[in-house]
Structure 1
Amino acid sequence: MSKISSMGRGMQVVFAVGSRHKGGARGATVGDIAADLGKDRSQISRGLKAAQQENFLLRGGHREYSLDWSLYTDAQLLTEQRLRTEGLTALEGLVEDTGEGCFLGVLNGDSTVTIGEHVPPNSTMVGSWIGRPYPAYCSDAGQALLWDASDAEVRAVFSHTEFVRHGPNTPADIEDFLVRLAGARERGYSVVDEEAEPHLYSVAVPVRDFRGETIAALQVVGSKARLEPKCEEIAAAALKWGGRLEAALGRPS
């Protein structure tokens, strides 16, 4: 856990500098980053110096730190790798806590794609969902993956999408989807109740990376008869393991 926490703190400092660049600044001082993150200056100073020594940052003549841009792509690639490896750990823990099939999904256009799965020994699931797309407007992961998107961004995702009925509760249109997404945000997790197919029920939570951006969704999927009565218990487990996965990805605290 200490290794993960150290990695997370280091990424916070590096990408706080990146946020300054995004806002138009040429660099950032220790005081700038300490103020942005609400951390002690000495702690931030150590983090910045360590990042400079590891060649993540450059230091200018005015004591300002700036990104070594060649490493930004490397950080994103590292995050993708950690999402898959640490994601498997989260899936295993979530299955142990819930006894249900658990999945890790990402957004691809207007569809969601499963990149990780783990099911209990007694599962009756036939085949694998790895790599298979499903319409995001009714998939188990769709709402969680669009968690931080504005209404305009969600509309753009589905601008050319036909809302085909896959289950008795499939959203009728984009307005219906937005209402359900708002409800999920207020609840703290999404519930997809017979939207993807009859009798199927799922609970999902968003997973954010070192930038604080949603890059994946962790979901628990099973029959409505079995999952609905223990929905809150399942949601608590999903939030716990989603939080641990985010820590491994360096999400800012």
Structure 2
Amino acid sequence: MSKTSSMGRGIMAVLAVGSRNAEGLSGGTVADIAADLGRDRSQVSRSLRTAEQEGFLARGDYRSYTMNWSLLTDAQLLTEQRLQTDGVTALEGLAGETNEGCFLGVMSGNSTVTIGERVPASSNMVGSWLGRPYPAYCSDAGQALLWEASDAQVRTIFSGVPFVRHGPNTPLDVEDFLSRLRGARARGYSVVDEEAEPGLYSLAVPIRDFKGDVVAALQVVGAKTRLEPRLELCATALVSWGKWLESALGHAAPQNRP
């Protein structure tokens, strides 16, 4: 898109207002934004008025333009709705390709909570995980949900959390968790091998929204004896459906699914 087009100028004006908000400023006048962009005031004024009319900006005191945060709130609510509806499609497609239990999890404090699941009868899994919290330090979803977190943020989240042994390979401490998280990032998906419980094997990928924030984890979970030999097949399906779900949330270009 050319910055000299009317649409391009409008977007640049909105981004300039957003940058001022990010710096802690309440907003900016036409003169402020024109100076920031190094552009003609009359041209910037037209762009700002159009952005206000379209609902992207609001005009406050002293003719200052600010971001219309209600628009972002509406977009966030839409993301949550799409996560529920399109999440079901992703879970059904992934379960159909892998014949394993598939889950959608979110972060809650230092735990993960399942908000969606599809469990084929062939997986031999019993019971439901919906609404149940699980320690993030020994969960494939935990690694995926902390994908973009810094080491310092991860240490803060697990500060004071005892790393109770749930399986033979449960991480020993937060540094052990961080080491496994780095390996997952390099691989492109997390692998939890008997960390959560004996005999359990699972994979997960992070799901990002339109802002690029990780909002969920898409998972494949099953018995190690059955899932580990099919790692490549299941990982390929997981990554593919993860990208599809991200595109549905506005993060990436639409994928050829389903």
With the length of structure 2 as denominator, give the TM-score of the two structures: 0.77
SS in 1 for 2:138: coil
Greater displacement, 64-73 / 79-88: 64-73
Give the 5 Å matches for 1:41-56.
55-56=55-56
Could you tell me how far apart the structure 2 residues matched to 1:183 and 1:150 are?
Answer: 14
> Is residue 111 of structure 1 aligned with residue 111 of structure 2?
yes
Q: CA deviation at 1:236?
A: 1.3
Q: Which residue of 2 aligns with 1:71?
A: 71
With the length of structure 1 as denominator, give the TM-score of the two structures: 0.79
Q: Which residue of 2 aligns with 1:168?
A: 168
Task: List alignment gaps of at least 5 residues for structure 2.
Answer: 1-10, 38-46, 254-258
Q: Which residue of 2 aligns with 1:213?
A: 213
CA deviation string 1:166-223 (max 9, x = no partner): 0000001011101000000011110000000001000100000111011110000001
Q: Which residue of 2 aligns with 1:239?
A: 239
SS in 2 for 1:239: helix
Change (3 A) 1:221 1:22: same
**Greater relative CO (CA pairs within 8 A, separation 6+):** 1
Q: Which residue of 1 aligns with 2:145?
A: 145
Task: List alignment gaps of at least 5 residues for structure 1.
Answer: 1-11, 33-44
Q: Which residue of 1 aligns with 2:87?
A: 87
Could you tell me how far apart the structure 1 residues matched to 2:16 and 2:245 are?
Answer: 23
* Partners of 1:207 and 1:216 within 8 A in 2: yes
CA deviation string 1:133-179 (max 9, x = no partner): 00000023110010000000000100020000000000010111010
Greater displacement, 71-80 / 91-100: 71-80
Give the 5 Å matches for 1:222-233.
222-233=222-233
* Partners of 1:14 and 1:56 within 8 A in 2: no
Could you tell me how far apart the structure 2 residues matched to 1:247 and 1:111 are?
Answer: 26
Q: CA deviation at 1:232?
A: 1.9
Could you tell me how far apart the structure 2 residues matched to 1:15 and 1:102 are?
Answer: 40
* Partners of 2:17 and 2:65 within 8 A in 1: no
Could you tell me how far apart the structure 1 residues matched to 2:170 and 2:157 are?
Answer: 17
* Partners of 1:211 and 1:252 within 8 A in 2: no
SS in 1 for 2:140: coil
Q: CA deviation at 1:79?
A: 1.1
Q: Which residue of 2 aligns with 1:35?
A: none
CA deviation string 1:72-92 (max 9, x = no partner): 222212211111111111101
Could you tell me how far apart the structure 2 residues matched to 1:104 and 1:164 are?
Answer: 24
Change (3 A) 1:55 1:123: same
Aligned-pair Cα RMSD in Å:
2.9
Give the 5 Å matches for 1:122-201.
122-201=122-201
Identical pairs, percent: 65
